[in-house]
């Protein structure tokens, strides 16, 4: 099972080459990404449904159409995950369905290319949205974007000690909120 960093190292250069006009890199990016997306969506709405392929195609189209919004200085996989997540949310809203996925099942969208093997990233945002903006953005920067606590603290204009305390309290609160939800 490839690690998140290995996947980022594989996909980010393809995205950058794609943005520079390399059609081969663009095709390869969409092909590899499509395999990850099939696993991601199959885990959430059921393997073998036509909806999975529809969501894969919608997401690949969004990656293609929104590629100019990708900031080359940032990791690619969180950007792609956000697009996939929003496509899934839109799909579930259209179908008037709600899914609940435990936080401890949170894997990376890019955990595996194989739909049958992938333990994929969950809808963590549902819980994060319950945090105040400052705390949520700190958790996202450190735990999802991979910034150091010092970098995230500087970005917010607070001390690293303050950021560590806020991060610890936020993670503790999220853990308790998850336990409360799951009884």
Question: Which CATH number fits the domain that encloses residue 149?
Answer: 1.10.10.10
Counting other chains too, the contacts that 25-34 makes at CB distance below 8 Å and 24 or more residues apart are 26/64, 29/63, 30/60, 30/63, 30/64, 32/113, 33/59, 33/60, 33/63, 33/80, 34/60
144 token code pair: 């999802």
Whole-number pLDDT of residue 90: 84
Q: Is the pLDDT of residue 146 over 50?
A: yes
Of the residues 41, 71, 105, the one at which a domain ends: 105
Residue 13, CA distances (Å) to 51, 121, 135 in order = 30, 22, 31
Whole-number pLDDT of residue 20: 94
Residues 6+ away with beta carbon under 8 Å from 123? 85, 88, 89, 99, 101
Whole-number pLDDT of residue 61: 92
Whole-number pLDDT of residue 140: 81
Q: Is the pLDDT of residue 26 over 70?
A: yes
Over its C-alpha atoms, the chain yields an Rg (Å, rounded) of 17
Whether residues 14 and 97 fall in one domain: yes
Whole-number pLDDT of residue 118: 33
For 47-103, the pLDDT digits (tens) are 667 888 899 999 999 998 888 889 999 999 889 988 998 888 888 887 765 455 544
Whether residues 23 and 97 fall in one domain: yes
Q: Is the pLDDT of residue 25 over 90?
A: yes
**Distance (Å, rounded) from C-alpha 116 to C-alpha 31?**
17
Q: Is the pLDDT of residue 107 over 70?
A: no
Whole-number pLDDT of residue 182: 55
Grade residue 123 by pLDDT with cuts at 50, 70 and 90: very low
Structural domain for 58, as ranges: 4-105
- On whether the CB atoms of residues 131 and 173 are closer than 8 A, the answer is yes
Whole-number pLDDT of residue 125: 62
Number of domains within the chain: 2
Whole-number pLDDT of residue 1: 39
């Amino acid at each position: 099972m490839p690690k998140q960093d290995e996947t980022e190292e594989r996909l980010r250069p393809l995205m950058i080459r794609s943005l520079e006009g390399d059609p081969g890199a663009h095709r390869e990016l969409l092909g590899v990404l499509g395999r990850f997306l099939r696993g991601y969506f199959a885990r959430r709405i059921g393997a073998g449904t036509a909806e999975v392929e529809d969501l894969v195609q919608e997401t690949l189209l969004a990656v293609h159409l929104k590629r100019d919004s990708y900031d080359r200085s940032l990791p690619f996989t969180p950007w792609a995950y956000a697009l996939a997540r929003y496509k899934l949310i839109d799909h579930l809203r259209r179908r008037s369905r709600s899914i609940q996925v435990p936080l401890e099942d949170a894997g990376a969208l890019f955990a595996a290319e194989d739909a049958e093997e992938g333990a994929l990233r969950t809808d963590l945002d549902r819980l994060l949205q319950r945090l105040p903006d400052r705390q949520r953005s700190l958790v996202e920067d450190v735990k999802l974007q991979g910034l150091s606590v010092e970098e995230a603290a500087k970005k917010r204009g607070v001390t690293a000690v303050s950021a560590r305390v806020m991060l610890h309290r936020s993670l503790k609160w999220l853990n308790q909120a998850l336990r409360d939800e799951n009884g």
